[in-house]
C-alpha cells in the first residue's frame, strides 16, 4: 500500500478498509496487499481517523446500522461523506473474487478537501452547470466544507449561501433545480450517441427526475425516473440497492400524481429489495415503510397506515435513540396517522414530541422548526382551535420568509395554509389576501400551466363562494379544472375535487340539479380509481345527500347518507368526527320527517363522538347540546330540554370569557341559546301549571 503521507492523485490508490466482512467473501490475489481488513469495526474507525488521506470503507449491508452510524459520525468530523452509488461495483470487483457477493456490500468514500476538489470538482474546477449536475450527489460534502472552511472557491453559489440563516444554507431553491434540470437535459443530448457512457447517462436521468419531482412536474419526473430505472436494471440487475431507492422515488411521484394503486405496487417492490439488501432493522427499510404508510393513507386505509408508521418509529428509535431528527419526522408521521383515525389529541401529542426534539437539535430558527409549527397548527385545526392554528402557522411563515425569502415554494405553502385558516374562521378577505400572495409566488416559480397554480385557483374559487361571488367562484374552478385536465386527463383525483367544488357553488346558487350532476361526475371518477370504500367517496355521498335534501327528495338523501356512514365506519370505526357530521345530517332529516325520537338518537350519537374527540368545552359540543335541547323541547320534554340548554349555555359562556375561538360567532350562539332557554323555561312552568290544574 502507498505511504500514508504521500499525496494520492487517483481514487484507485485510496486505501480500502474492510469492516467485519464475512470469511466466505474471498479476496482477489492482487487486492490482498492493498486492502486493510479489520475484524472489529471500532479499530477500523480509529485507523481511518488517523489516515489524513482519502479512503473507502466497505461494510456488509446487514451490518449493525446503529454501530455504523456512530462510526460514520466520528469520521464526519474529519471528512465529508457520500455513499458511492454508481462506482461501487468496480471498486468491489477489484477486491472480491466472487461476483455474487457484491450486492450484499455497501461502499462509503471519504475525501480530504484537496482530493474532493480535484476528484469531484476536477483539476480546473467544474463550470457552473457542472456543479449543479453534482447538486444531489454531493450536497452533504458542500455543506460540510462550507461549515469547515467557509466554502469551496470552485463551488457555485448554488451551495454557498452565507446570506441565509444557519440550517437553510444547504437548501436549494426552485430556480437552482430548474438550472440543474436544464444542464442535465443538455448533457443527455450531448451523450445520446456516445457509447460506454451508461453510468453517466444514468446519473443525469435520475437527477433530471429529481428536479422535475421537486418542481412538482410529476409526469415528467415519472418519464425520467422510469428511464433511469430501466438503465439501473440493465447495469446492475434486479436486486441492487439503487433499484430500491429509485422505486421509492417512483412510488412517491405516483402517489402525488393520484395513482395510488401503482404507488402501492411499486412501494411493495422497493420494500422487498430493501429487506433483502439491508434487512428489517435498517434506515433504508424504514424509509420504504414510511412511504408505504403514506400510500395506505392516500388509499383511505388508515389503520394500515398507522401500523406502518408505528413500525418505522420502532426501527428508527432502535437505530438512533430518542433525540434524533429522523425520530422527530417519524413522530410527525405518526401524528398524521392518528389524526386520520380521529385521535386528534394523540396526534397533537406526537407533533409536540417532534417539536421538542427539533428544538433540542436545531434551536428555534430552522426549516425543521417551521415544519413542526405547521404540523402543530394542523393539529389545532383538527381540534377546531383556529386561533391557535393561526398562531403557529404565522410562526412557520416567519421562519420560512427569513430563511428562504419571499419567492420560494415553502413560503407560498405557508401563505396557502394561513389562507385556509382564515377561510375556516370566516375572515374571507384575509383568506383572499394570503391566497393571492401564494398565487403570485407560484406563478413566478412555475408559470401558469402547473398543478400548484390549479390548486391556488381552486382555493380562490372556495373563497369567492364564501364571499357570495358565485360566478367568480365558477370561473376560478373552471380555470383549475382546465389545467388539471391538460396535465392529468379526466380520470384523476384532482379533477374529481374540481367537480366537487363546482357542485358546492351550484349548491349555493340553489341550482341543485346542476350540483347533483357534478357530484355524480366526481363520484364516478373516484369509484373508478379507488373502488367503493374510500373516505373521499363518503364525502361526495354526504354532499350528494345534502343536494337531494335541498330539492326535498328525502329518500335519496337518506340513501346517500347511509352509504357515506357505511364507508366511514369501514374506514374509521365507530368514533370519528366525519361520522358525527353524518349523524348530525341524519338527525336533520328525521326531524324534517317529524320523527323526533329518531332525531334525538342521532343527536346523542353526534354528541358522544364530539365529547370523546374534541372535549366538553368546545363550540361543536355546545352545538350538539343545543340541538338536543331543541329536539326535547319539540316533544315537550321541557325538563330534559332545559338541562341541555344549560349545558350549551355554560360552554358558550366559558368560551366567550376565555377568548377561545371566534367571539362574534360565539356571542351570537350564546344569545340564541339564552333566548330559547328562557322560552323553554316558560314552557316548562306552563306545563307544570297545567298538570297542577288537573
Q: Is residue 58 part of a domain?
A: yes
Question: What's the rounded Cα separation, in Å, for the pair 508 and 504?
Answer: 6
Which pLDDT belongs to residue 235?
Answer: 77
Q: Is the pLDDT of residue 618 over 50?
A: yes
Tell me which residue range forms the domain holding 564.
532-615
Question: What's the rounded Cα separation, in Å, for the pair 208 and 519?
Answer: 38
Cβ contact 138:130 at 8 Å: no
* DSSP letters for 360-380: HHH-SSSHHHHHHHHHHHHHH
Give just the sign of the alpha carbon dihedral 424, 425, 426, 431.
Answer: negative
Which pLDDT belongs to residue 176?
Answer: 66
Q: How many other CB atoms are there within 10 angstroms of residue 300's CB atom?
A: 23
* Mean pLDDT value of segment 573-593: 92
pLDDT band of 366, cuts 50, 70, 90: confident
E strand or H helix at 108, and its extent? Answer: strand 105-111
Q: In what order do the strands lie in the sheet with 16-19?
A: 35-38, 16-19, 55-60, 105-111, 80-83
Which pLDDT belongs to residue 359?
Answer: 92
Cβ contact 585:355 at 8 Å: no
Q: Is residue 305 part of a domain?
A: no
Phi, psi of 676 (to 5 degrees): -70, -35
Shared domain check, 108 and 57 = yes
Shared domain check, 643 and 593 = no
Which pLDDT belongs to residue 622?
Answer: 95
pLDDT band of 20, cuts 50, 70, 90: confident
Tell the residue number behind the cell numbers 411499486, with chain if given. 266
User: What is the total count of domains within the chain?
Assistant: 3
Which pLDDT belongs to residue 331?
Answer: 96
Q: Per-residue pLDDT tens for 167-183?
A: 444 445 666 667 767 76
Tell the residue number behind the cell numbers 391557535, with chain if given. 388
Q: Is residue 65 part of a domain?
A: yes
- The angle at the Cα of 51, spanning 45 to 53, to the nearest 5 degrees, equals 120
Which pLDDT belongs to residue 62?
Answer: 72
Tell the residue number behind the cell numbers 430518542, with chain if given. 322
Radius of gyration of the chain (CA): 30
Shared domain check, 609 and 681 = no
Among 285, 364, 280, 362, smallest CA distance to 328 is for 362
Which pLDDT belongs to residue 6?
Answer: 33
Q: Pick the range with the lowest mean pLDDT from 3-7, 372-376, 663-667.
A: 3-7
Give just the sign of the alpha carbon dihedral 393, 399, 401, 405.
Answer: negative
Q: Are strands 35-38 and 16-19 parallel, antiparallel or unpaired?
A: parallel
CATH code for the domain of 663? 1.20.58
Q: Is residue 377 part of a domain?
A: no
Question: What's the rounded Cα separation, in Å, for the pair 373 and 371?
Answer: 6
Q: Is residue 41 part of a domain?
A: yes
Which pLDDT belongs to residue 14?
Answer: 65
Q: Which residues contact 81 (CB under 8 A, 6 or more apart)?
A: 72, 75, 108, 109, 110, 140, 141, 144
195-210 in b/e form (b: 16+ CB < 10 A) is eeeeeebbbbbbbbbb
Q: Per-residue pLDDT tens for 436-485?
A: 999 999 999 888 898 899 999 999 999 999 999 999 999 999 999 999 99
Q: Pick the range with the lowest mean pLDDT from 27-31, 240-244, 369-373.
A: 27-31
Q: Per-residue pLDDT tens for 52-89?
A: 677 888 888 777 777 877 787 777 666 655 544 445 66
Q: Are strands 55-60 and 105-111 parallel, antiparallel or unpaired?
A: antiparallel
Q: Is residue 355 part of a domain?
A: no
Cβ contact 275:239 at 8 Å: no
Q: Per-residue pLDDT tens for 477-504?
A: 999 999 999 988 898 888 999 999 999 9
Q: Are strands 80-83 and 16-19 parallel, antiparallel or unpaired?
A: unpaired
CATH code for the domain of 537? 1.25.40.10
Cβ contact 290:315 at 8 Å: no
Question: What's the rounded Cα separation, in Å, for the pair 508 and 474?
Answer: 11
Q: Coil, strand, or helix at residue 255?
A: helix
Q: Is the pLDDT of residue 373 over 50?
A: yes
Q: Per-residue pLDDT tens for 157-168?
A: 333 333 444 444
Q: Which residues contact 597 (CB under 8 A, 6 or more apart)?
A: 635
Q: Which residues contact 291 (CB under 8 A, 6 or more apart)?
A: 248, 251, 252, 255, 267, 270
Whole-prediction pTM value? 0.67
Question: What's the rounded Cα separation, in Å, for the pair 175 and 581?
Answer: 44
Q: Coil, strand, or helix at residue 301?
A: coil
Q: 356 exposed, middle or buried (CB, 10 Å; 0-12, 13-18, 19+)?
A: middle
DSSP assigned state of 551: T
pLDDT band of 269, cuts 50, 70, 90: very high
Among 270, 278, 202, smallest CA distance to 236 is for 202
What string of H, E and C letters represents the secondary structure of 450-514? Answer: CHHHHHHHHHHHHHHHHCCCHHHHHHHHHHHHHHHHHHHCCCCHHHHHHHHHHHHHHHHCCCHHH
Q: Is the pLDDT of residue 314 over 70?
A: yes
Most confident of 23-27, 29-33, 227-231, 239-243: 227-231
Q: What is the mean pLDDT of the chain?
A: 82
Q: Is residue 159 part of a domain?
A: no
Tell the residue number behind the cell numbers 374562521, with chain if given. 425
Shared domain check, 547 and 662 = no
Q: Is residue 376 part of a domain?
A: no
Question: What's the rounded Cα separation, in Å, for the pair 257 and 24?
Answer: 45
* Mean pLDDT value of segment 104-112: 75
Question: What's the rounded Cα separation, in Å, for the pair 688 and 682?
Answer: 10
Shared domain check, 682 and 626 = yes
Q: Is the pLDDT of residue 594 over 90?
A: yes
Which pLDDT belongs to residue 394?
Answer: 96
Question: What's the rounded Cα separation, in Å, for the pair 606 and 619?
Answer: 13
* Mean pLDDT value of segment 122-127: 36
Q: Per-residue pLDDT tens for 38-57?
A: 888 888 888 887 776 778 88
E strand or H helix at 82, and its extent? Answer: strand 80-83
Q: Pick the range with the lowest mean pLDDT from 470-474, 525-529, 603-607.
A: 525-529
User: Which of 564, 588, 615 is where one domain is finished?
Assistant: 615
328-337 in b/e form (b: 16+ CB < 10 A) is bbbbbbbbbb
DSSP assigned state of 27: B
Shared domain check, 97 and 44 = yes
Cβ contact 366:131 at 8 Å: no
Shared domain check, 607 and 642 = no
Shared domain check, 586 and 622 = no
DSSP assigned state of 165: P
* Mean pLDDT value of segment 310-318: 94
Cβ contact 490:522 at 8 Å: no
Percentage of residues in the chain having pLDDT higher than 70: 82
Shared domain check, 570 and 674 = no
Shared domain check, 121 and 24 = yes
Which pLDDT belongs to residue 551?
Answer: 93
Phi, psi of 96 (to 5 degrees): -105, 140
E strand or H helix at 292, and its extent? Answer: helix 283-298
User: Which of 84, 108, 125 is where one domain is finished?
Assistant: 125
Among 260, 244, 241, smallest CA distance to 252 is for 260
Which pLDDT belongs to residue 492?
Answer: 86
Shared domain check, 679 and 578 = no
C-alpha dihedral, 63 to 65 to 70 to 74, nearest 10°: 60
Shared domain check, 597 and 634 = no
Question: What's the rounded Cα separation, in Å, for the pair 425 and 388?
Answer: 12
Distances (CA, A) of 525 to 327, 355, 528, 540: 37, 39, 5, 11
pLDDT band of 328, cuts 50, 70, 90: very high
245-284 in b/e form (b: 16+ CB < 10 A) is bbbbbbbbbbbbbbbbebbbebbebbbebbbbbbeebbbb
Which pLDDT belongs to residue 61?
Answer: 72
Among 212, 247, 256, smallest CA distance to 228 is for 247
Q: How many other CB atoms are there within 10 angstroms of residue 553's CB atom?
A: 15
Tell the residue number behind the cell numbers 479489520, with chain if given. 38
Cross-strand pairs, 96? 27
User: Which of 68, 102, 125 is where one domain is finished?
Assistant: 125
Amino acid at each position: 500500500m502507498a505511504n500514508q503521507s504521500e499525496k494520492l492523485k487517483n481514487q484507485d490508490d485510496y486505501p480500502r478498509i474492510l469492516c467485519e466482512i464475512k470469511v466466505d467473501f474471498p479476496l482477489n490475489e492482487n487486492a490482498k496487499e492493498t486492502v486493510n481488513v479489520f475484524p472489529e469495526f471500532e479499530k477500523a474507525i480509529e485507523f481511518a481517523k488517523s489516515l489524513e488521506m482519502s479512503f473507502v470503507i466497505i461494510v456488509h449491508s446487514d451490518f449493525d446500522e446503529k454501530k455504523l452510524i456512530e462510526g460514520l459520525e466520528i469520521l464526519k468530523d474529519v471528512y465529508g461523506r457520500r455513499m458511492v452509488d454508481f462506482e461501487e461495483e468496480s471498486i468491489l470487483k477489484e477486491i472480491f473474487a466472487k461476483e455474487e457477493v457484491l450486492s450484499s456490500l455497501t461502499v462509503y468514500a471519504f475525501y480530504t478537501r484537496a482530493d474532493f476538489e480535484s476528484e469531484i470538482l476536477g483539476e480546473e474546477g467544474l463550470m457552473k452547470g457542472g456543479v449543479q449536475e453534482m447538486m444531489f450527489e454531493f450536497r452533504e460534502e458542500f455543506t460540510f466544507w462550507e461549515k469547515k472552511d467557509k466554502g469551496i472557491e470552485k463551488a457555485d453559489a448554488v451551495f454557498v449561501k452565507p446570506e441565509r440563516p444557519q440550517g437553510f444554507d444547504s437548501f436549494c431553491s426552485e430556480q437552482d433545480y430548474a438550472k440543474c434540470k436544464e444542464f442535465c437535459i443538455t448533457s443527455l443530448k450531448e451523450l445520446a450517441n456516445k457509447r460506454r457512457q451508461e453510468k453517466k447517462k444514468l446519473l443525469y436521468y435520475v437527477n433530471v427526475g429529481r428536479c422535475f419531482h421537486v418542481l412538482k412536474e410529476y409526469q415528467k419526473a415519472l418519464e425520467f425516473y422510469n428511464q433511469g430505472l430501466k438503465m439501473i436494471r440493465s447495469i446492475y440487475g434486479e436486486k441492487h440497492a439503487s433499484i430500491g431507492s429509485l422505486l421509492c422515488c417512483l412510488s412517491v411521484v405516483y402517489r402525488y400524481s393520484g395513482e395510488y394503486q401503482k404507488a402501492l405496487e411499486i412501494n411493495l417492490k422497493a420494500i422487498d429489495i430493501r429487506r433483502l439488501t439491508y434487512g428489517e432493522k435498517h434506515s433504508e427499510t424504514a424509509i420504504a415503510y414510511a412511504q408505504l404508510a403514506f400510500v395506505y393513507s392516500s388509499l383511505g386505509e388508515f389503520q394500515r397506515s398507522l401500523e406502518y408508521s408505528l413500525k418505522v418509529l420502532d426501527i428508527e428509535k432502535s437505530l438512533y435513540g430518542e433525540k434524533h431528527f429522523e425520530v422527530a419526522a417519524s413522530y410527525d408521521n405518526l401524528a398524521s396517522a392518528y389524526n386520520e383515525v380521529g385521535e386528534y389529541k394523540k396526534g397533537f401529542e406526537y407533533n409536540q414530541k417532534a417539536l421538542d426534539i427539533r428544538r433540542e437539535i436545531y434551536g428555534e430558527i430552522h426549516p425543521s422548526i417551521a415544519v413542526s409549527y405547521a404540523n402543530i397548527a394542523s393539529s389545532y385545526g383538527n381540534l377546531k382551535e383556529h386561533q391557535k392554528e393561526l398562531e403557529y402557522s404565522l410562526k412557520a411563515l416567519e421562519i420560512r420568509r427569513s430563511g428562504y425569502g419571499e419567492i420560494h415554494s415553502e413560503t407560498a405553502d405557508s401563505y396557502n395554509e394561513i389562507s385556509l385558516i382564515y377561510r375556516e374562521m370566516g375572515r374571507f378577505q384575509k383568506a383572499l389576501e394570503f391566497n393571492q400572495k401564494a398565487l403570485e409566488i407560484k406563478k413566478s416559480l412555475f408559470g401558469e400551466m402547473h398543478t400548484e397554480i390549479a390548486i391556488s385557483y381552486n382555493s380562490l374559487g372556495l373563497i369567492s363562494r364564501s364571499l357570495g361571488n358565485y360566478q367568480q367562484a365558477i370561473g376560478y374552478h373552471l380555470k383549475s379544472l382546465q389545467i388539471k385536465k391538460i396535465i392529468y386527463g379526466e380520470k384523476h383525483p384532482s379533477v374529481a375535487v374540481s367537480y366537487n367544488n363546482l357542485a358546492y357553488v351550484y349548491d349555493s346558487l340553489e341550482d341543485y340539479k346542476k350540483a347533483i350532476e357534478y357530484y355524480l361526475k366526481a363520484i364516478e371518477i373516484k369509484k373508478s380509481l379507488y373502488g367503493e370504500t374510500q373516505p373521499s367517496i363518503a364525502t361526495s355521498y354526504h354532499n350528494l345527500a345534502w343536494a337531494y335534501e335541498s330539492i326535498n327528495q328525502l329518500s335519496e338523501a337518506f340513501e346517500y347518507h347511509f352509504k357515506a356512514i357505511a364507508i366511514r365506519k369501514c374506514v374509521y370505526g365507530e368514533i370519528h368526527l366525519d361520522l358525527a357530521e353524518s349523524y348530525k345530517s341524519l338527525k336533520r332529516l328525521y326531524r324534517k320527517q317529524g320523527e323526533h325520537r329518531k332525531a334525538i338518537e342521532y343527536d346523542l350519537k353526534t354528541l358522544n363522538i364530539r365529547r370523546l374527540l374534541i372535549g366538553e368545552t368546545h363550540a361543536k359540543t355546545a352545538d350538539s347540546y343545543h340541538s338536543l335541547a331543541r329536539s326535547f323541547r319539540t316533544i315537550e320534554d321541557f325538563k330534559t330540554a332545559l338541562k341541555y340548554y344549560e349545558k350549551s349555555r355554560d360552554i358558550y359562556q366559558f368560551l366567550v370569557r376565555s377568548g377561545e375561538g371566534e367571539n362574534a360567532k360565539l356571542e351570537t350562539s350564546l344569545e340564541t341559546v339564552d333566548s330559547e332557554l328562557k322560552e323553554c323555561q316558560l314552557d316548562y312552568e306552563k306545563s307544570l301549571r297545567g298538570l297542577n290544574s288537573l
